[in-house]
Amino acid sequence: MTPFPIGAGASDMGKNRSREGWDAAPSQPFVSVIKATLQEPAWKALPYGARCLYITLKTLFNGKNNGRIYLGVRKAAQELNASRSSTERWFHDLQDAGFIRPTQKAFLGVDGHASATYWRLTEVGFAGEQPTREYRQWQPKKTKSRTENRDRPSRKLGHLSR
Q: In the beta sheet, which residues pair with residue 100?
A: 121
**Which pTM value belongs to this model?**
0.70
**Average pLDDT of the residues in 36-62:** 95
The string of pLDDT tens digits covering residues 92-140 is 999 999 999 999 888 887 887 878 889 999 999 888 889 899 999 999 8
Ordered structural domains, the chain, with CATH: 30-124 (1.10.10.10)
- Per-residue pLDDT band for 33 (boundaries 50, 70, 90) equals confident
21/26 Cα distance (integer angstroms): 12
122/130 Cα distance (integer angstroms): 9
